[in-house]
C-alpha cells in the first residue's frame, strides 16, 4: 500500500522538492472533497475552517513551548562564525518592522478572499471586518514573535532553514537537551498539525470563489442558471 501510494499518489518532484509531480491524484481527491464540502454553504464550512486554523495555531504553540523548554540563552547573542562583528541579528528592524512584515504577510496570504467571503455572515460588516483584520494581525504578530524567539533560542539562527524552519530545527538539532524520542515525537506531531492547518489556505479561496462566480453571473460573464439556489443545500449552483 505504501509503495502504491508513494509511486502513484504523492510522488515528490525531483530531486527532493515539496511539490508533487503531475498527475497528482491525491491533491485532486482533496480538492474534490473540499468542493463537495463547499456545496453545504459557508455556515457549515465555518466549523471546518475554525478547526483547521486552531490545529495549525495549536501545533505552532506546542512547538514554541517545547523549544522554550529546551532553549539555550547563548543562542540569543550568537553570531555567524564567519562574521567578526557584534551586531545582533534578532529583530534587526525592531517591533515596527515585525508588525509591518506581519501585515504584509497577512495581506499577501489571506488577501481579501477570507474577509469578503465572511462579510455576509456578520451583522455589521463595516465594523466587524476591520476589527477582525486588526485582531488577526495582532494575533499573528504575537505568535510570530514568540515562535521566532523560541526558534532562535532552540537552534542557532544561521542554521535555520527558511523553507521549513520548525520541522528542520526539530529534526537536525542533535545537541538538544531533550530526549531523542521526544524530539522525534514533536517532529511528527507538529508536522501533522501544520499539514492539517494548510486546509484553511485551500478551502478559504474555494469558498470565496462562490461569490466570485455569482458576481460573474450578474455581470453576464456566466449563464444565469448558475445563480439559481440549490434547495437542499441553499447555495448557488
pLDDT given at position 113: 55
pLDDT given at position 84: 45
Is the pLDDT reported for residue 140 higher than 50?
Answer: yes
Q: In a 3-state reduction of DSSP, which class is residue 16? A: coil
| Residue 8 in domain | no
Q: What is the distance between the alpha carbons of residues 167 and 160, in angstroms, rounded to a whole number?
A: 10
- Name the nearest CA neighbour of 62 among 150, 165, 138: 150
Is the pLDDT reported for residue 68 higher than 80?
Answer: yes
| Residue 5 in domain | no
| Residue range 92-99: mean pLDDT, rounded | 74
| Residue 111 in domain | yes
| Residue bearing the bigger pLDDT, 87 or 96 | 96
| Residue range 3-9: mean pLDDT, rounded | 50
Q: For residue 125, what is its C-alpha cell?
A: 460588516
Side-chain half-sphere exposure of 108, counting CA atoms within 13 A: 6
pTM of the model: 0.64
Lowest-confidence pick of 5-9, 33-37, 150-154, 197-201 = 5-9
Domain extent, residue 130, equals: 56-236
Beta strands in the chain (DSSP E): 229-230, 235-236
| Residue 27 in domain | no
Q: For residue 223, what is its C-alpha cell?
A: 449563464
Is the pLDDT reported for residue 194 higher than 60?
Answer: yes
| Residue 134 in domain | yes
Lowest-confidence pick of 115-124, 126-135, 148-157 = 115-124
| Residue 114 in domain | yes
CB atoms within 10 A of CB 158: 12
Q: For residue 151, what is its C-alpha cell?
A: 526558534
Quote the number of domains for the chain: 1
| Residue range 66-75: mean pLDDT, rounded | 85
Is the pLDDT reported for residue 17 higher than 60?
Answer: no
Averaged pLDDT of the chain: 73
| Residue 23 in domain | no
| Residue 102 in domain | yes
pLDDT given at position 57: 83
pLDDT given at position 233: 61
- Name the nearest CA neighbour of 149 among 218, 223, 59, 75: 75
| Residue range 37-44: mean pLDDT, rounded | 72
Amino acid at each position: 500500500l505504501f509503495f502504491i501510494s508513494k509511486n502513484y499518489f504523492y510522488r515528490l518532484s525531483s530531486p527532493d522538492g515539496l511539490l508533487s509531480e503531475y498527475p497528482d491524484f491525491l491533491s485532486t481527491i482533496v480538492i474534490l472533497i473540499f468542493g463537495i464540502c463547499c456545496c453545504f454553504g459557508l455556515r457549515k464550512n465555518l466549523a471546518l475552517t475554525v478547526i483547521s486554523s486552531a490545529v495549525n495555531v495549536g501545533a505552532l504553540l506546542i512547538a514554541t513551548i517545547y523549544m522554550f523548554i529546551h532553549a539555550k540563552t547563548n543562542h540569543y547573542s550568537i553570531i555567524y562564525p564567519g562574521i567578526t562583528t557584534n551586531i545582533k541579528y534578532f529583530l534587526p528592524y525592531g517591533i515596527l518592522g515585525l508588525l509591518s512584515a506581519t501585515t504584509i504577510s497577512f495581506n499577501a496570504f489571506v488577501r481579501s478572499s477570507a474577509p469578503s467571503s465572511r462579510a455576509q455572515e456578520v451583522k455589521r460588516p463595516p465594523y466587524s471586518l476591520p476589527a477582525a483584520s486588526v485582531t488577526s494581525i495582532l494575533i499573528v504578530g504575537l505568535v510570530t514573535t514568540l515562535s521566532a524567539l523560541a526558534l532562535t533560542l532552540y537552534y542557532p539562527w544561521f542554521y535555520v532553514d527558511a523553507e521549513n524552519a520548525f520541522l528542520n530545527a526539530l529534526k537536525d538539532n542533535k545537541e538538544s537537551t531533550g530526549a531523542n524520542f521526544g524530539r522525534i515525537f514533536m517532529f511528527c506531531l507538529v508536522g501533522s498539525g501544520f499539514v492539517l492547518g494548510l486546509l484553511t489556505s485551500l478551502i478559504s479561496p474555494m469558498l470565496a470563489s462562490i461569490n466570485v462566480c455569482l458576481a460573474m453571473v450578474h455581470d453576464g460573464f456566466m449563464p444565469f442558471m448558475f445563480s439559481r439556489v440549490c434547495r437542499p443545500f441553499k447555495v448557488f449552483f
